[in-house]
Amino acid sequence: MLSFFVKALVALFTIVDPVGLVPVVLALTVGMLPHERTLVTFRATIIAGIVIAVFGAFGQLIFTSLGVTSEAFSIAGGALLFVVAFDMLFGRPSGARETRREAREALTREDVSVFPLAIPMIAGPGTITTIILLVSNAGSDPIQLSLVGLAALITLAASLFTMLLCAQIQKRIGTTGILVLSRVLGMLLAAVALQFILNGIAEFVGHLQ
């Protein structure tokens, strides 16, 4: 159970990358008063949590109704996460979180809590894919499902914490420190993504035998 929880926490924490949210929040909330920035970050976290919970509860049902097997989704999801990890390792903005067009539009919006902070920066395609994969791996085991929920809550809490303290974090570790941490998380995410792919292949081969 502990290994499953660690896997879930590492997967969600690395795909959301709470530390990587620091420069984004600073850029999007420039000129805001402290209480306004706090309100934006709380709203973004709550909305992202709702999105993650909905897809965690009904995501597998949606894909099942479309005829997508768990093995296929595990392989495809792992491949998507690996692309995100690759971009993190080389310090490139990932289209799986936010496209360049979305980034440009975000700078012109007054309320940035829903877009782009909640979606897609926190609860983007990569996060949604990860939560569905984890719920699928947990199956009907209530303990493992609870551990997935706990991992999601910890990740959201970490995201809220970093967004609330973004100015202080930026001063303490600087842009270079943020990039270094992002690359380390990218390495962890690459390993988790590869494991998802291997699990999907193993399940597919097992069904053929």
Q: What is the 3-state secondary structure (H, E, C) of 36-103?
A: HHHHHHHHHHHHHHHHHHHHHHHHHHHHHHCCCCHHHHHHHHHHHHHHHHHHHHCCCCCCCCCCHHHH
User: What CA–CA distance (Å, rounded) separates 158 from 4?
Assistant: 20
Counting the structural domains of the chain, the total is 1
Q: Among candidates 82, 125, 80, which has minimal Cα distance to 102?
A: 125
121 has pLDDT over 60: yes
Q: What is the pLDDT of residues 134-169, one digit of tens each?
A: 998 898 899 999 999 999 999 999 999 999 998 888
pLDDT at 94: 57
pLDDT at 108: 53
Task: Report whether 102 contacts 30 (CB < 8 A).
Answer: no
57 has pLDDT over 90: yes
Tell me the whole-structure pTM to 2 decimals: 0.78
pLDDT at 154: 97
Q: Among candidates 46, 55, 47, which has minimal Cα distance to 125?
A: 55
CB atoms within 10 A of CB 143: 10
Per-residue b/e over 154-189, b at no fewer than 16 CB within 10 Å?
Answer: ebbebbbebbbebeebbeeeeeeebbebbeebbeeb
Query: Region 107-122: what's the mean pLDDT?
Result: 77
Task: Report whether 59 contacts 132 (CB < 8 A).
Answer: yes
Q: Does residue 24 sit within a domain?
A: yes
pLDDT at 156: 97
User: What CA–CA distance (Å, rounded) separates 65 from 5?
Assistant: 28
Q: Does residue 53 sit within a domain?
A: yes
Q: Does residue 209 sit within a domain?
A: no
* CA dihedral sign of residues 18, 130, 48, 114: positive
Task: Report whether 122 contacts 8 (CB < 8 A).
Answer: no
176 has pLDDT over 90: no
Q: Does residue 135 sit within a domain?
A: yes
Q: Does residue 193 sit within a domain?
A: yes
Residue found by looking up tokens 């997967």 in the block: 11
pLDDT at 104: 59
User: What CA–CA distance (Å, rounded) separates 120 from 128?
Assistant: 10
3-state secondary structure of 7: helix
pLDDT at 5: 96
pLDDT at 101: 61
Residue 62 is part of which domain span?
2-204
Q: Does residue 170 sit within a domain?
A: yes
**Least-confidence region, from 53-67, 89-103, 193-207:** 89-103
Q: Tell me the pLDDT band of 203, cut-offs 50, 70 and 90.
A: confident
**Least-confidence region, from 58-67, 100-109, 119-128:** 100-109
Q: Among candidates 46, 44, 121, which has minimal Cα distance to 84?
A: 121
